[in-house]
Amino acid sequence: METLHEECGVFGILEPYQADTAASTYFGLYALQHRGQESCGIAVCDSGVMTQYREEGLVSEVFTPDILHALGKGQMAVGHVRYSTTGGQNRNNIQPLVIRHIKGNLALVHNGNLTNASELRSSFELSGAIFHGTSDTEAIAYEIVRHRLQCGSTEEAVEHAMYYLDGAYSCIVMTAQKLIAFRDPNGFRPLCIGKKQNGAYVIASESCALDAAGANFLRDVQAGEIVVINEKGLSSIQTHCQKKIPSICIFEYIYFARPDSIIGGISVHHARICAGKLLAQKNTVKADVVIGVPDSGLDAALGFSQESGIPYGIGFIKNKYIGRSFIQPEQSQRENAVRIKLNVIRETVAGKRVIMIDDSIVRGTTSAKIVQLLRDAGATEVHVRISSPPFLHGCYFGTDIDSEENLIANQYQSVTEIADYIGADSLDYLPVSELGTLIGQKNGFCQGCFTGNYPVDVSKAGKKNKFDKKLNET
């Protein structure tokens, strides 16, 4: 892994009457595409009958007009875009997961990563359960069904199931008559509620998806909250609220979320502008232009320029049409991947001292290629500034960082050595102490990947591919 990968995006809608909920879900998932590009799926419920379609690929590739038409109309729908965290690229891991059991059907979509997935899976398997995929989402579904057999409602089953789920989960469950959204007590991953003028309720990972579906933002789902939406309206179960310190992933603001989203009342765009300004306040080099690496580096670059007075320039054009179909079967093609994805605007950088803003450095190989692109375009100096601290530790809550030995910050003793490796004239990171400044609070967020201090126990979390190992790897 040379760059960070997103986790997943979830979307759900309940209309007051039969409507084209599949189309609304399509628009919502399209807005969440940045959160996962491996696969996507939609399940529609029409008077209790669920129809679904799931496939590998981008939303625009998978859901053709014919597929959307085949899904039909209904009162409810849920959708998902996926990048695998626990469980690899296995077709059985594509969501929504539709579970059919004696008390009825349910469809589940999940963003996050359970830290006790192995423990849950083992307990179910020992009692005779059969798993079709390798993701932790299936364990969540089984846990809900287990309690549903004893409870009077699905929301009550979710309430009981949450006592057994550890780690990060922002989920939506669709039953025959209702949508149930719930978020882990730490609130690691975002989840919000919107409402359309016709009375339809929408649940989504980010507020940008509410906008795409024509819904107005109402509020975030609270950490630990269970939100129940049916034909009577919205109700809330807060049994698990305020049980733990809120721990929204700080990297949602730095990289994952779209800049036009609002998370926890904080503008993602504003947080990135703030990161750039903080970097500029500790800048010690002279330069002629500030540029950002698309997409999440652009806002930080603008903030750096505003604070430093150094002119802002558009340094790169990003090819937005590569998608998952862009493959590099030969080594020479893999080496050219960055050149095809990013192209330098020579007029911006030629003969100039450049400050290049990016959101992170993982292994450093991609950063080195980007720096070389600027030098090939005639930049006389390239000073790299990163709008996050160095990655030193793995993430166990839905971000694909779990191999500490491969992180460049653990391979070199100093920032100067990392700068030399990526070919930069200088390098600097956002200090850990400034992370809270981005969102205007001193705590209430997770920064474990930078500090190693996690809000919950991660000793049982294991690796991303723990359920995909070959016999000789066990």
- Residue type for 435, please? L
Structure tokens at 31: 């807005």
Phi, psi dihedrals of residue 370, rounded to the nearest 5°: -70, -40
Q: Which residues of 92-101 are buried (b: 16+ CB within 10 A; e: fewer)?
A: ebbbbbbbee
Query: CA–CA separation, 4 vs 366, rounded Å?
Result: 11
CA nearest neighbour of 195 among 222, 214, 215, 220: 215
10 Å Cβ neighbour count for 337?
16
Residue 180 makes CB contacts below 8 A (sequence gap 6+) with 154, 155, 158, 172, 173, 174, 226, 227, 228, 229
Residue 65 makes CB contacts below 8 A (sequence gap 6+) with none
Q: Which residues are catalytic?
A: 8
DSSP H helix total and E strand total for the chain: 18, 23
Query: CA–CA separation, 386 vs 358, rounded Å?
Result: 5
Strand, helix or coil for residue 238: coil
Q: Which residues pair with 14 in a beta bridge?
A: 76, 201
